[in-house]
Amino acid sequence: MKKLSLILCGGLAIATTLFSCNKGEEKASTASSSSAAISVDGKKVVFVNTDSLLTNYQFYKDAQKEFENKGYRLQVDLGQRERALQTEGSAIQQRAQAMTQAELQAADMMLRKKAGELQQYSQQKQAALAQEQAKKQEELYTNIREYIKKHNAENKYEFVLGYSSNGGGILYADNAVDVTQQIIDGLNKEYAEKKGAAKK
């Protein structure tokens, strides 16, 4: 899940940038008290703290829990299958002295075949889980992009930047232009409504 979190955090910084940069030189910033945006060459700029966004967005928390559970269930399943194969191998070893050379070779081939099938099963299940995670990640990005577009329809920001304390393209961001909580509140409200409608 740490890998998923890092991928999501890194990609989110890119996903939250809505418009391409203005090629003119940046002039001195002046704060706009009504929208909490900074104005650069007449363009309104705000940022979203992507760390906080992921930590507090219920969709992300639910997805993370879902994949932790699925990953755990897969580990349990694979562990049971591996132990069953080991038990079968131990049983053959115990009977080995009473078996003919041909029976031993057949048993060895059968165990190798089952081990190969288990490895293939494991790879398929892990690939399916990774594919499902990628779909959920894309849904996360889509939710955030679409909500920011809606939020921006009211506020008319030219730039919504993604900021992370773990590094990235923005090295410093003034809290006066932080709209993270507005975005989190809106996303969580929208997600709760969708989740509620899906249960009906």
Tell me how far apart the terminal alpha carbons of the chain are, to the nearest angstrom: 30
Q: Where are the domains of the chain?
A: 2-19+31-199
Q: Which of 147, 162, 88 is nearest to 118 (CA)?
A: 88
Task: Copy the structure tokens of residue 195.
Answer: 């989740």
Residue 137 has pLDDT above 60, yes or no: yes
DSSP string for 14-59: HHT--SPPP-SPP---EEETTTTEEEETTEEEEEEEHHHHHHH-HH
Query: Residue range 163-184: average pLDDT?
Result: 83
8 A C-beta contact, residue 20 and residue 133: no
pLDDT, average across residues 115-142: 97
Question: What's residue 170's pLDDT?
Answer: 78
Report residue 157's pLDDT band, with 50, 70 and 90 as the boundaries.
confident
Instruction: Work out the average pLDDT over 138-145.
Output: 94
> Residue 191 corresponds to which amino acid?
Y
Distances (CA, A) of 108 to 83, 89, 103, 123: 17, 8, 8, 23
Whether the CB-CB separation of 129 and 71 falls below 8 Å is answered with yes
| C-alpha separations of 167 from 51, 52, 163 in Å | 11, 14, 8
pLDDT, greater one: 147 or 172: 147
What mean pLDDT is reported for the chain? 81
From 26-40, 62-76, 97-111, 134-148, the region with the lowest mean pLDDT: 26-40
